[in-house]
Amino acid sequence: MKRILFSFVLSIVFINAFAQIPAGYYNNATGTGATLKSQLKTIITNGHMDMGYAGLWVAYQTTDRDNISGIPGLENDGSILDIYSENPSGADPYNYVVGPTNQCGNYNSEADCYNREHIVPQSLFNEASPMVSDVHFIRATDGKVNGMRSNFPFGKVGTASFTSLNGSKLGTSVSPGYSGTVFEPLDAFKGDVARMIFYFVTRYETQLSGFSSGDMLGGSAYPGLQTWELNQLLAWNAMDPVSQTEIARNNASYAHQGNRNPYIDNPFYVNLVWGSPVVDTQVPTVPTNLTTSNPTSNTISLSWTASTDNVGVVAYDIYKDGVLYATVSGTTATISGLNPSTTYNFYVIAKDAAGNASAASNTGSGTTLAGGQPGGSCGTEDFTNIPASSSSYGIQTWTSSNITWTATDARTDQTINGRAISIRNGNLTSSTISGGIGSLTVTTKLPFSDTAGNLTLQINGNNVGTIPFGTTAITTTISNINVANNVVIKIINAETGKRISIDDLSWTCYNTLNTSETAKQKSLFSIYPNPVKNNELFVKGENLNKVSKAEIYDLSGKLIKTIENPFKNSNKINLHGITKGVYILKTDSTSAKFIIE
């Protein structure tokens, strides 16, 4: 599909489109700034007929049809032209037939029905007339996406909590000057949205002081918008020029209600009223001090010092061996899915909201542990193989690494670090897994507007821990599970109605390192004091001078320290340099857990 853009060249298309503007319509638009805005307000108020809220359904038969006006550029099939489902580069995920059959109505998921989407939310003006039925800023859009957009302002999304089938997003704003939740349409329709909002704050400028702001509208006639929103819309207006489909819609809207959108008829009015958009060309500073830490057999953790920017850094691209691995908003990340006993090289690049990219950080190298080491990974599940993306809830089944997973009341269209399974009132269960389990690590996140809580982890039907979830990604490790032989992993969402996404699940093998000392060990081998005081751990037992090696591990299985012939001259182990925490001391034939305070 090709979206043909409007050009200011005096082409035949330009002349034909403008021929439908009444002669002299803009003769009185002679000023600039606030004066011009008020002049345009007078022009587009005259002749405006309120056709009623139900009249929008009638209007959409000509205003929101794909190529109904004979202008080429989209599918040309006469279906509803929905900016929330239209695919500018291929086939649309679904289409609506004009008329009552596909009108909302109730909806549960995308493609159920189309609705009347107020680009400026009707709650901001208390659903009053004539705003509530003004077709110039009310589009025919999918009901589900309309509902997800809700009353949020338009802006650039950093981390998305919802993504529609055509790629429109809801999530945390990275538009400079605003950090709340915003909705971001496709690039192909960002200019359309900007010009609809410019129309609204012009047509109703004298009423703005009585409207709610919605974190987008200003409280006065000029400029009519909050600074952050104005700057974002000016950038979108410049990035996505007027298209022929917009011109056709403007003409059809004029035929329906008797007035026009001046910013479609004459795009130059935007800059004459509000000025040119501020262009951000300054790149962020280079991220520094990239380090690797906490390797397991399949993961390595990264951290770095934040970059700075004249407007603000919004994301970091992480590269693994020169290939883009992930994009994150913070300054830490855990790289998963790695191979045992392998060295990897990483660097990060900072980006700002304008897409300016820094130079690469220093390279950080890290080596994973060997498979089968104490605490080494028994298995991972990154949800790459889950069924095709779907916003419908149901039973989802897939197989990875010879393990079959079943998720009930689950959907497959959300992401965290990659594809993620999202559970509503169900659970995630594995088939039988050999090798036992020592600890389990998983990342969770709320994709929608639910409250924080906890999932329940069961092993072989027994509760072994809880997994917290919240509005940001949380990675949790449950240690000391220590179940031998065959196990079944089950993660249960018992918090009714809450929707939780799950990603990057991994677990370590069962190992005697992770068990408590047996009674026999206690009688032959003991440690004191516990908790450790003054960084000195004392050991009492038989034949200590014959112990050839002592090793200290943390609970993730990482080897912290090795001491050869540890008790040749004394029964004391020096723990200087080891941080507070819980550790395991392993000798030739025994192990014991201790705490450093």
Residues 216 and 355 reside in one and the same domain: no
Whether 480 and 545 map to the same domain: the answer is no
Q: Hey, is 284 helix, strand or coil?
A: coil
CA 382 – CA 403 distance, rounded (Å): 12
**What is the span of the domain harbouring residue 357?**
288-367
Look at residue 583 and tell me whether its pLDDT is greater than 80.
no
DSSP assignment string, 529-540: EEEEETTEEEEE
Of 367, 385, 401, the position where a domain reaches its end is 367
Instruction: Among 239, 274, 309, identify where a domain stops.
Output: 274
More confident of the two residues 369 and 203: 203
Q: What is the mean pLDDT of residues 259-265?
A: 98
Q: Indicate whether 340 and 481 sit together in one domain.
A: no
Predicted confidence (pLDDT) at residue 513 exceeds the cutoff of 70: no
Instruction: Report the pLDDT value the prediction gives residue 74, as an integer from 0 to 100.
Output: 60
pLDDT of residue 78: 82
Pairwise pLDDT comparison (76 vs 314), residue with the higher score: 314
Indicate whether 156 belongs to any domain.
yes
pLDDT above 70 for 1? no
Residue 372 predicted with pLDDT over 50: no
122 plus 268 within the same structural domain = yes
The number of folded domains in the chain is 4
Please state the rounded mean pLDDT for residues 29-34: 96
Q: Are 523 and 455 in contact (CB under 8 A)?
A: no
Q: Whole-angstrom Cα distance, residue 149 to residue 477?
A: 34
- Tell me: pLDDT of 512 over 50: no
3-state secondary structure of 361: coil
Residue 72 has a pLDDT of 44
Q: Going along 332-460, which residue ranges are E strands?
A: 332-335, 343-352, 364-367, 377-381, 394-400, 403-415, 419-423, 427-430, 440-445, 453-459
Q: Is residue 104 part of a domain?
A: yes
Residue 153 has pLDDT above 80, yes or no: yes
Lowest mean per-residue pLDDT among 331-335, 447-451, 500-504, 538-542: 538-542
* Pairwise pLDDT comparison (337 vs 399), residue with the higher score: 399
Residue ending a domain, among 367, 395, 430, is 367
Say which CATH number the domain at 481 has. Answer: 2.60.120.260
Average pLDDT, the chain: 86
Residue 595, token pair as written in the block:
């705490």
**Structure token digits, residue 469:** 């979830």
User: Has residue 20 been placed in a domain?
Assistant: no
Query: What pLDDT, on the 0 to 100 scale, is given for residue 556?
Result: 52
What is the arithmetic mean of pLDDT over 495-516? 78
CA atoms within 13 A on the CB side of 247: 25
Write down the residue that tokens 């220093």 correspond to: 362
What value does the mean pLDDT take over residues 31-39? Answer: 97
Please give the Cα distance from 99 to 63 (Å, whole number): 13
Q: Check pLDDT > 80 for residue 377.
A: no
pLDDT at 371: 53
AA identity, residue 20: Q
**How large is the average pLDDT for residues 143-152?**
96
Residue 317 lies in a domain: yes
Q: Is 394 helix (H, G, I), strand (E, B) or coil?
A: strand
Q: Is residue 1 part of a domain?
A: no
Q: Are residues 265 and 398 in the same domain?
A: no
> Are the C-beta atoms of residues 127 and 166 closer than 8 Å to each other?
no
- pLDDT > 50? residue 11: no
Residue bearing the bigger pLDDT, 35 or 295: 35
Res 73: pLDDT: 47
Range name among 5-9, 278-282, 454-458, 533-537 with the lowest pLDDT average: 5-9
Same domain, 221 and 78: yes
State pLDDT tens for residues 379-396: 889 998 999 999 999 999
- pLDDT exceeds 60 at position 117: yes
Question: Domain check: are 442 and 359 in the same one?
Answer: no
pLDDT, position 9: 32
Domain identity same for 499 and 542: no
Residues 50, 171 within the same domain: yes
Instruction: Tell me: do 550 and 469 sit in the same domain.
Output: no
Whether 458 is covered by a domain: the verdict is: yes
Is residue 3 assigned to a domain?
no
Which pLDDT score is estimated for 425? 94
Work out the pLDDT band at 370, boundaries 50, 70, 90: low
Phi then psi dihedrals of residue 430, to 5 deg:
-95, 165
Does 202 lie in the same domain as 82? Answer: yes
Q: b or e along 242-262 (b: 16 or more beta carbons within 10 Å of the residue's beta carbon)?
A: bbbbbbbbbbbbbebbebbbb
Neighbours of 115 (CB within 10 A): 23
Give the Cα separation of 572 and 321 in Å (integer). 43
The amino acid occupying position 469 is: F
pLDDT band at 320; cut points 50, 70, 90: very high
In a domain, 372, yes or no: no
Q: 488 and 562 share a domain?
A: no
pLDDT band at 17 (very low <50, low <70, confident <90, very high): very low
